[in-house]
Amino acid sequence: MNENRNYKERENLESFLQKVQNAAVLLLGSPEYFTEEEIARFLKRYEVKLTRRAEEGIVAVLEGRRMNPAEETVSESLYAQGVPHYRIAELEHLMSEKLGGREVLMSLKLGYDAKRLLRLIENEYLADELFLKLLKLWRWESDELMEGDFDARILTALLKRFLDAGNYESDVYYSPVSLLRLIRETENSAVLEALVDWPDFTFRQQRDHSITLHEALASHEALDRRSVESLRRRKEAAVDRALAANPAIGIQGIESYLARHDGSLDEALTANPALATEHFAELAERGEAVAETLAAFQWIDEERLEIIARHFGWENLPDALAENPRIDPKAFGGLLAKAPEEFRRRLAANPALPLEFVEKLAKSDDERILEALASNPAVEGAILQKIRERFGEKTERIDEALAGNPSTPAELLEAFYVTGREALLAALAANPSTPMEILHQLKLDFRFYPLVSQNPTFVERANFEMGMR
């Protein structure tokens, strides 16, 4: 048989096994995810015998890994005779698909076998669902990730399966910190649930900061109900604080934490986007710091604005409220109508400011309001141009705000560069919308080089030109 036809015209492995009953298959080299005994038992389903000897009646060859020279010679001889060759990966893939998950889990629970469990967890052909169930059975060798050899392989198998590291980051699969990255990036609640019962490993971060595995899990919004309850049963202060800010805990969880009247939990609850208005009102009565944090981070509609105004008074609204990106358009109207002048100036710089109010404020004669609008990246270029035409040449502060605004039209940025004013050039050096030819000129000036070197547009272009992107 022609050698090319030997591979091109061979049957699917399972179809082949179903047809060649009472035959022998030769195994050369080593399997990876299953033992020879497990392979032999599997082939018995098809009434096929596994052999290590090149005896007569061989109907197929299974090519394993790490074949020795003698085995390679046998393989080439049988290949030339037209005997079909299959890679061990094809058989192991088929075995993985046919693996009875319940039977495997039961056998491992009855008789824990670390080496067998490790082989199964490293088996890339297993379905994710069975992989995660097997992961829960692993008994950790050490209190630190990657300290034990087997532990390190378990973590690497998890990361390779669920962490998308890209073509140039394969080394991250061998770093314990990558588990923290996986937790933060995944949206798979089953992965998070599988990690809940792991030991509470600690991730050491910069500046002597650290975070535990369960703290990281507790802050993830994709947690399912079972995971939330498991974490709450730990009764750890840091985990509870992370959960209190997490909408995954639901209304019942929020009310449970509110009932504890714990200052640190109250502060964490202020960041929970699932707060109902009645919870918002209750928290607003628990101190000025808590009320101010609510004003900074929570969704603010007209009803909640009234709660804040009752607490602080319209003349003393917290500055953080003016910067809140989650203000309802109707609440913006109330703030512009009732808040003091200084507050309205800060509000004009809020990127969430609705267009109708931007256009209204742009007609103002208050230069400080116009300065705030000129710095607001959400304001359209045409409106910024009109502000410049009205006041820009009369006030340096408006020009400086426009020079640093990424939404300012390119022709206006170019005009600022021509002026040669140091303050404008500094703003241009940091502005990601500044044309590259201007950034290249500014980088030559020692005064602006530090700003240009941090400009994201310049950095991206420089990386591209050096072949790093």
How confident is residue 3, by pLDDT bands cut at 50, 70 and 90? very low
Pairing of strands 23-28, 48-51: parallel
Q: Across the chain, how many H-helices and E-strands are there? A: 31, 6
> What pLDDT shows up at residue 102?
82
Count of CA atoms in the C-beta half-sphere (13 A) of 238? 10
Domain count, the chain: 2
Residue 54 lies in a domain: yes
The answer to the question of residue 15 being in a domain is yes
- Residue 124 sits in the same domain as residue 60: no
Given 41, 69, 97, the domain boundary residue is 97
More confident residue, 165 or 215: 215
Residues 72 and 115 in one domain: no
Nearest to 396 by CA among 421, 433, 432, 362: 421
- Phi first, then psi: what are they for 65, rounded to 5°? -95, 155
Is 78 in the same domain as 148? no
Query: Residue 410: its pLDDT value, please?
Result: 95
Q: Which of 97, 132, 164 marks a domain boundary?
A: 97
Q: Is residue 196 part of a domain?
A: yes
Q: How far apart are CA 424 and CA 448, in angstroms?
A: 11
Q: How far apart are CA 121 and CA 133, in angstroms?
A: 10
Task: Give the three-state DSSP class for 203.
Answer: strand
First to last CA, the chain: 49
pLDDT band at 135 (very low <50, low <70, confident <90, very high): very high
Q: How many angstroms separate the CA atoms of 100 and 81, rounded?
A: 37
Residues 188 and 133 grouped into a single domain: yes
Identify whether residues 77 and 52 lie together within a single domain. yes
Say which residues have a Cβ less than 8 Å from residue 320's Cβ, sequence separation at least 6: 292, 293, 295, 296
Residue among 344, 338, 258, 266 nearest 302 (CA): 338
Q: Please give the residue range of the domain that contains residue 22.
A: 3-97
118 and 199 assigned to the same domain: yes
Contact indicator for 1, 82 with CB cutoff of 8 Å: yes
323 in a domain, yes or no? no
Residue 321 in domain? no
Residue 58 to residue 76: CA distance in whole angstroms? 14
pLDDT of 405 strictly over 70: yes
For residue range 444-455, list pLDDT tens digits in order: 999 999 999 999
CATH number of 7's domain: 3.40.50.10190
For residues 191-207, average pLDDT: 87
How far, in Å, are 16, 233, 246, 318, 328 from residue 324 at the CA level?
A: 66, 34, 19, 11, 10
Tokens of residue 294, six digits: 């609510």
Is 27 within 8 Å of 51 (Cβ atoms)? yes
The DSSP line for 106-153 is: HHHHHS--HHHHHHHHT-TTS-HHHHHHHHTT---SSSSTTSSHHHHH
Whether the predicted pLDDT of 208 surpasses 80: no
pLDDT in tens, 138-153: 998 877 777 788 999 9
Q: Yes or no: say if 157 and 195 are a contact pair by the CB < 8 Å rule.
A: no
List, for residues 346-398, the tens digit of each pLDDT value. 999 999 999 999 999 999 888 999 999 999 999 999 999 999 988 766 788 99
Distance from C-alpha of 27 to C-alpha of 87, rounded to nearest angstrom: 10
Average pLDDT of the chain to the nearest whole number: 90
Domain boundary among 149, 180, 214: 214
Both 31 and 92 in one domain: the answer is yes
Residues 178 and 112 in one domain: yes
Determine, yes or no, domain membership for 52: yes
Do both 127 and 193 map to the same domain?
A: yes
* Region 183-211 average pLDDT: 88
From CA 205, how far away is CA 207, in angstroms rounded? Answer: 7
Helix (H, G, I), strand (E, B) or coil at 327: strand
Does 120 fall in a domain? yes
pLDDT digits (tens, 9 = 90+) for 10-59: 688 999 999 888 899 999 999 989 999 999 999 999 999 999 998 878 99
Confidence of residue 130 (pLDDT cuts 50, 70, 90): very high
Query: Which pLDDT score is estimated for 143?
Result: 75
For residue 428, give the nearest of 449, 450, 403 by alpha carbon: 403
Residues 67 and 122 in one domain: no
Give the separation between CA 180 and CA 242, rounded to whole angstroms.
15
In terms of domains, do 56 and 122 share one?
A: no
Domain assignment present for residue 46? The answer is yes
pLDDT category at 172 given cuts 50, 70, 90 is confident
Q: How far apart are CA 32 and CA 174, in angstroms?
A: 20
Cα separation, 134 vs 190, in Å, equals 13
Residues 160 and 191 in one domain: yes
pLDDT digits (tens, 9 = 90+) for 91-119: 999 999 888 878 888 888 888 889 999 99
